[in-house]
Chain A
Amino acid sequence: MSKYRIKLDRDRCIVCHSCEVLCKVKNETPAGISLNQIIAEPQVSEEGYPRLKIKYQPCLHCKKPECVPACPTGALYIREPDGLVLVNEDLCDGCMECHDACPWNVPRFNEHTGKMMKCDFCVDRIDSGLEPACVTACTTHALDFVLAKKKSAAKKAA
């Protein structure tokens, strides 16, 4: 598991899809693919009230990611010391083995580059002391970028 996690406050989430659009714009993801997903399933409660079952699906940056050993070229790797699961584009040949191996199919094929893309928690932003795009500008501040069991310094300061 990476030392970071994105936590969703389901009470605050209004499923506005801002997280997906922010990700798309920041990462210049081509049309047709998305590196993250907000999923809402309408339900009816026992009292007859409408409810939404909401799930946020970025990359989980697993402790033992299935995508990494599945990659035949060594392009997928775990960055130390923070445990982020990243793609080395120079090594990637776009074979999609990582996509198939991931239980949530998080890595996506970018037709324009012929390489895989995946949610990297906006590693360039993290390395500049910022938070992932989806967290930074979430409409309702429903997403939180957290260290294992404690809030990030940036969140505390805010």
Chain B
Amino acid sequence: MTIEKKFSVCGMCSVRCPIQVDVQDGDIKFIQGNPHSPLKGALCARGAAGPGLIKDPDRIRTPLIRQGERGQGKWRESSWEEALDYVADKLKTVIKDYGSRSVLWSDRGGPFRDLHQAFMRGLGSPNYCNHDATCARNVHHAALSLFGFGRKGVLYDLKNAKHVVLQTRNIFEAINVKEVNDLLDAMGNGCRLTVIDVRSTVSAAKADRFLLIKPGTDYAFNLAVIHELIDKKLYDQDYVKKWFKDFQSLENFVRDYTPEWAQGKTGISAQEIRSFAAELAAARPSVIWHPGWMNARYTDSFYVSRTIYIINSLLGAIGAKGGLPFMAKPGDCGRKGLKALANKFPKPDEKRADGAGWKHKHIDSGPGLLHLAFKAIETEDPYPVKAYIAYRHDPLMAFPDPEAQKKMLEKLDLMVSVTFSWSATAWHSDVVLPLSPYLERESVIATKNGLKPHFFIRQRAIEPRHENRSDWEILCGLARRLGLEAMAFDSIEDIWKFQLQDTGVSIEDFETTGLVPLTDKPVYLDQDKFQFKTESGKIEILAPKWENSGIPSLKPYQDKPSPGPGLFRITFGRCGVHTQGHTINNPILFEQMPENVLWINTDKAAEMDIAQGDMVRVSVNGYYSGQLKARVTELIHPEAVFMVHGFGSQVPAETRAFKKGVADFRLMKGGMEIWDQAGGGVALQEHFVKVEKV
């Protein structure tokens, strides 16, 4: 039989790269990036390993209803009819007793969330959350506080950049295939790369300049760069005159934050800071100092991202080609966007349980903050939250301190996990609704904004092998049972037609490439005609929303405690072959990297007689300890130890990953209470661990 080419969208991480899948007799023969997209066929290791999900014996093959205690692992297999009836009936009871607002949802955001938001609006609950408090919330709020729009109001024009700075973005290991290629193309054309990190990543090994920084002092470093840019008048004075509000406040604020001062804090020499700042200025405005993708690390991470945006602004890079141009949307191409499913229902006017938008006025009420929503479950303040649906999200691994979280979740009457693979959260749920793996499901049509906005579509490459269903089948099935007729669609085609009705695009237009471009040429929005979304229309150094909440826009630098003897600051991150915890059990990726190791500084290791490859025990106050191999290297700061995130599964159903490696998130005791009050992100690197040779 001939090989059929199916265009779809990867689901192995949150980037959602366009893919082409070769299918023969219902079997996947090969998978690659969509050759008609900017990827030109490229796909990362995780995307390439997607077929590993299909024949995995650990797959969840049918809906499951809990029999024993939560987390005990006693399940009863059920039909879809029974499982959906069960969930709908429980939701009805909870809503009757406690109101619509008592239902909480969390997902991992992304381009398909419209369907989820429609479901929550249909229910009448304001408590739609995403994962972002463990990811980019600080970045998003930093952008909001300066520009009036969030982090997605600008994009990274890596291909045309002349100097790229990565401070909290490990671009060559937390891989977005297009970004990686764009940056490598730019570097081939002479773009400089500076990496600031507590350890040497692959990104650092590719950099022209690597600055090994003392953990937790990034804000000090950035303040000194601002000082230098202003003091030496290296900034773009025309741009600042035109676009800055309160520049004088910034100038006064950084006056004492000299490179010499920062040297004492960060360990990076004043001379290095000066030459770096001068080099940035020489490349302006085609500079991208990446504000961070995942930046939920410290209690001042908001200020790290905020100072990065300020530096980009001082260099005239916001809105510039080769810098951070304004994000173009379908409307900027003279086209209509997709019709939103969520707009079928009114926006609930109820206050959010997590306090976003009212108790915490500066926090974006769109996706809120899940750690505070969990807190509300526990305290029933401001009101009881009794049902929780985790969609393709594993907070018990992504947020810190799962034992504390389980306590918070105790008051739930219903906990549902919609998931294509086992996870700590699914294992702890009352009902598991097994989503089809992405290669077996279709999704709502999505928009990619950027220099070349386009619509893209996920179609099933192959049919589901087991009792798995697509997201729309599950949510529309629940909607029907709950009387939400407006979203009780019978087919995905009906949903697609609804979304496309104003766009002039038909479903057939996706057939040849899986993509529908909305422009031929890149759209660079004119800086002169642009208005920032702040009250003044300018970049506001003093942010009224934050100031009114008693949070300073320009916060004086505060030292963090140093680890005591035998203790280290726990740091964590990514590698090229895994996406957090949810790929560890993938048969192909597990083989690539079955467990994590502990990076530890050579001198510190020598003091403790730890040699390369020795087993070490990492622990926190007798609360949790785990053993793993030491990777002894001079290329990590002596105060830090590092491990790749997401290992140490406690789920027996993950037969390969179970108990492999050490769980960084379990080393963060009390971590649900430690968060950046200005940006909303949890502060995952504000924890110390003990390391001993075994």
* Contact indicator A52/B205 (Cβ below 8 Å): yes
Pick the residue among B29, B44, B52, B633 that contacts A18 (CB under 8 A).
B44
Give the most central of B172, B205, B635: most A CB within 10 Å: B205
Do B210 and A49 touch across chains, with their CB atoms under 8 A apart? yes
User: A16 vs B48: C-alpha distance in the bound complex, in angstroms?
Assistant: 11
Query: A33 — nearest CB in chain B belongs to which residue?
Result: B591
| Docked-complex contact B634 and A44, CB < 8 angstroms | yes
Interface pair A139/B175, CB less than 8 Å apart? yes
CB of B33 within 8 A of CB of A50, answer no
B177: interface (CB < 8 Å): yes
> What separation, in Å, do the CA atoms of A15 and B180 have in the docked complex?
12
Is there a chain A Cβ closer than 8 Å to B588's Cβ? yes
The answer to whether residues A137 and B42 also contact, given A16-B175, A44-B634 and a CB cut-off of 8 A, is yes
A-B interface, 7 closest residue pairs, ranked by CB to CB distance from nearest: A16-B576, A137-B32, A50-B200, A21-B48, A14-B172, A18-B45, A21-B45
Also in contact, A21 and B49, with CB within 8 A (given A42-B635, A137-B42): yes
B285 at the interface (CB under 8 A from A): no
The reply to whether A44 and B42 contact each other, CB–CB distance below 8 Å, is no
Interchain Cβ contacts under 8 Å between A and B, 20 examples:
A11-B188, A12-B188, A15-B202, A15-B576, A16-B576, A20-B592, A21-B588, A22-B32, A22-B43, A24-B588, A25-B48, A25-B52, A44-B634, A50-B200, A52-B202, A136-B41, A137-B31, A140-B42, A140-B181, A140-B184
The answer to whether B335 has its CB under 8 Å from any CB of chain A is no
- Min CB–CB distance A57 → chain B (angstroms): 16
Contact between chains at B175 and A50 (CB < 8 Å): no
Q: Which residues of B contact A17 (CB under 8 A)?
A: 45, 576-577, 592
Residues B182-213 near A (CB distance < 8 A):
184, 187-188, 200, 202, 204-207, 209-210
B residues 19-73 near A (Cβ < 8 Å) are 28-33, 40-45, 47-49, 51-52
In A9-50, the 8 Å CB interface with B consists of 11-12, 14-18, 20-22, 24-26, 31-32, 42, 44, 49-50
Instruction: Compute how far the CA of A33 lies from the CA of B45 in the bound complex, rounded to whole angstroms.
Output: 16
A151 CB–B CB distance under 8 Å? no
Q: What chain A residues lie within 8 Å of B177 (beta carbons)?
A: 139
Does B587 make an interface contact (CB < 8 A)?
yes
How long is the Cα–Cα vector from A137 to B184 in the complex, in angstroms? 16
Q: How far is the CA of A11 from the CA of B44 in the complex (A)?
A: 17
Report yes or no: B202 in contact with A25, Cβ–Cβ below 8 A: no
Tell me if B40 and A141 are in contact (CB < 8 A): yes
Contacts of A26 in B (CB 8 A): 29-30
Q: Which residues of B contact A133 (CB under 8 A)?
A: 30
Contacts of A42 on B, CB cut-off 8 Å?
Answer: 200, 205, 633, 635
Interface centre among A15, A16, A42 (most CB of B within 10 A): A16
Contact B204 A50 (CB under 8 A): yes
Assess A18 versus B634: contact at CB under 8 Å? Given A24-B588, A136-B32, A139-B175: no
A3 within 8 A of B: no
Decide yes or no whether A7 CB sits under 8 A from chain B.
no
Smallest Cβ distance from B22 to chain A, in angstroms? 9
How far is the CB of B200 from the nearest CB of chain A, in Å? 4
Which residues from chain A sit less than 8 Å from chain B, CB to CB?
Answer: 11-12, 14-18, 20-22, 24-26, 31-32, 42, 44, 49-52, 133, 136-141, 158
- Chief secondary structure at chain B's binding surface: mixed
Please indicate the chain B residues that have their CB under 8 angstroms from the CB of A14 in the complex. 172-173, 175, 180, 202, 206, 576
User: Within the complex, which residue of A21, A31, A51, A158 is in contact with B205, where a contact is CB–CB below 8 Å?
Assistant: A51
Q: Is the CB of A18 within 8 A of B172?
A: no
* B42 adjacent to A139 (CB under 8 Å): yes
A158 contacts B635, C-beta separation under 8 Å: no
B582-596 contacts to A, CB under 8 A, are 587-589, 591-592
Report B-chain residues with C-beta under 8 Å of the C-beta of A49.
Answer: 207, 209-210
Known A25-B30, A26-B30, A138-B42: A50·B205 in contact at CB below 8 Å: yes
Q: Return the chain A residue nearest B199 by Cβ.
A: A50
In the assembled complex, the CB of A141 is this many whole angstroms from the nearest CB of chain B, namely 6
| Cβ contacts under 8 Å, B172 to chain A | 14, 16
- B32 and A16 contact, CB distance less than 8 A: no
| A31 and B42 contact, CB distance less than 8 A | no
Given contacts A14-B576, A25-B31, A133-B30, contact A20 B45 (CB under 8 A): yes
Q: Is the CB of B44 within 8 A of A16?
A: yes
Give Cα A57–Cα B452 distance, bound, in whole angstroms. Answer: 37
Of A14, A20, A24, A139, most buried by chain B (CB within 10 Å of CB) is A139
CB distance from A109 to the nearest CB of B (A): 16
Known: A12-B184, A52-B202, A137-B32. A22 touches B48 (CB 8 A): yes
The residues in B between 150 and 186 inclusive whose CB is less than 8 angstroms from any CB of A are: 172-173, 175, 177, 180-181, 184
Are A139 and B49 also in contact (CB < 8 A) when A50-B205, A158-B40 are?
A: no
CA distance A20 to B589 in the complex (A): 10
State the CA gap A15–B592 with chains docked (Å): 12
CB distance from A126 to the nearest CB of B (A): 14
**Residues of chain B with a CB closer than 8 A to A21's CB:** 45, 48-49, 577, 588-589, 592
Q: How far is the CA of A17 from the CA of B47 in the complex (A)?
A: 11
Q: For the complex, what is the distance from the CA of A141 to the CA of B42, rounded to whole Å?
A: 7
Question: Is B175's CB under 8 angstroms from A31's CB?
Answer: no
Residues of B with C-beta under 8 A to A136: 32, 41
> Which of chain A's residues have a CB closer than 8 A to the CB of B577?
16-17, 21
Roughly how many angstroms separate A131 CA and B322 CA in the complex, as a whole number? 33
Closest B residue to A158 using CB positions? B40
Shortest beta-carbon distance, A84 to chain B, in Å?
19
User: How distant is the Cα of A100 from the Cα of B40 in the complex, in angstroms?
Assistant: 38
Question: In the complex the two chains form, what is the Cα distance from A22 to B32 in whole Å?
Answer: 8
A140-B181 Cα distance, complex, nearest whole Å: 6
Residues on the A chain within 8 Å of B205, using CB: 42, 50-52
> For the complex, what is the distance from the CA of A135 to the CA of B3, rounded to whole Å?
20
Binary interface encoding of chain B residues 423-462 relative to chain A, with 1 for a CB under 8 A from any of its CBs, else 0: 0000000000000000000000000000000000000000
Min distance, Cβ B454 to any Cβ of chain A, angstroms: 21
A133 CA to B589 CA, complexed, in Å: 17
Complex CA–CA separation, A11 to B202 (angstroms): 12
- The minimal Cβ–Cβ distance linking B596 to chain A, given in whole angstroms, is 16
CA–CA, A14 and B574, complex, Å: 14
Q: Which of B481-517 contact A (CB under 8 A)?
A: none
B48 neighbours in A (Cβ, 8 Å): 18, 21-22, 25, 137
